[in-house]
Amino acid sequence: MDKKELSEVWGSELVRSYKIILDVIKKSLTQTLNYRGRLEPNVNFAQKDSIELSQIDGGTMIMLDHPSSINYIEMEICCCTPSYYIEVSIDKYSWFRVVDHSNYDCRSIQRLWINRIYVRYIRIVETKNTSKKIKFLKVMYNTDKLHLVEIKNGLVAPKYNVALSSMDAIVINGIPNTFIRHMAKYTPSTMQDSILNDDYKHYYKYRGYLYHYLNRGCIEVQLAQPYLLSSMRMLLWDHNNDTYDYTVHVSVNHKDWDIIIDKSNKSCRSWQLLQFEQRLVVYIRITGVQTSNDDRSFNLVYLEAPAQVSLASIITKPWKSMVWLLNRK
């Protein structure tokens, strides 16, 4: 009997002792059910032959072959920017919400870490841009990268770089440099997503960066899902020792933006190691404010989030341009 049914029985003439039923209700509200089931590390329960998709209460549900402990769900949503939440259950009657991305833009493959929980049923309900085309790729108790994530209130703070094409991040604003744009082997998406590939060591003067002209546009990246971030790292194009002033804004819905880095008067160059107060991030907007180059463009070679180097190496005094040094009083 669930809590509602127990409450109804409390007032029934069939129950002789109110004290007994009150004790049962109190116990049901406070105890944690100690289900006995399987704990199989790194076994994918979402194999094609072992689960079946069904529709329930406006959502898409799968049932595992047997109750199991899980901490990781990976699924693909065939929709541009859906929002959703995920609930789990043992009995298909009482549901517990483990992921709530109802107010955040998401895309493509979702890699979701949750606190270990014992489940049999998993239900996803889309709240925006519903497609009902959901493919569960992995449902498991994942130990491979468990040490690389921190779970806070159902949200994930990763220690690995999530601003990668391989992690389904994409560039939604930014112009590929002219040389690479005319190379036949590069598709438009490959050219634009060049800053999201970790082959920055091979970039050269006319290849492997994005730009925007000052006072016209910006460079924007969308992550696959919301992540808790507190650092980033960027490489500014620096073959001519150019300097740049810039700002960085973030958003979870592409409507409300917060500024996290303001270097609009700093004359920066080359590698930028950025640290800020931890916050939820889906979109990253980088806007050039000033530059020393002749064509008035802000050029970005690489973006990384979170930073994959020690934050202890952040320079407290920003690099100053020669013009600033000569004009210093």
Element at 25 (helix H, strand E) = helix 18-30
Element at 9 (helix H, strand E) = helix 3-10
Same fold yes or no, 53-147 and 165-327:
yes
Distances from the Cα of 281 to the Cα of 82, 113, 227, angstroms: 16, 16, 5
Percent helix, strand and coil across the chain, each to the nearest 5: 15, 45, 40
* CA angle (283 as vertex; 289, 276 as ends), nearest 5: 70
**Under CATH, domain 53-147 is a member of which superfamily?**
Galactose-binding domain-like (2.60.120.260)
User: With bands split at pLDDT 50, 70 and 90, how would you rate the model's confidence at 240?
Assistant: confident
- Distance linking the first and last C-alpha atoms of the chain: 80
pLDDT in tens, 256-265: 999 999 999 9
Q: Global pTM?
A: 0.80
Q: Is the peptide bond before 306 cis (omega within 30 degrees of 0)?
A: yes
Architecture of domain 165-327: Sandwich (2.60)
Distances from the Cα of 269 to the Cα of 160, 196, 324, 327, angstroms: 25, 19, 14, 19
Instruction: Taking residues 107-132, report their average pLDDT.
Output: 90
To the nearest whole percent, how much of the chain has pLDDT over 90?
Answer: 58
Return mean pLDDT, the chain.
83
- Where do the structural domains in the chain lie, given as residue ranges? 53-147, 165-327
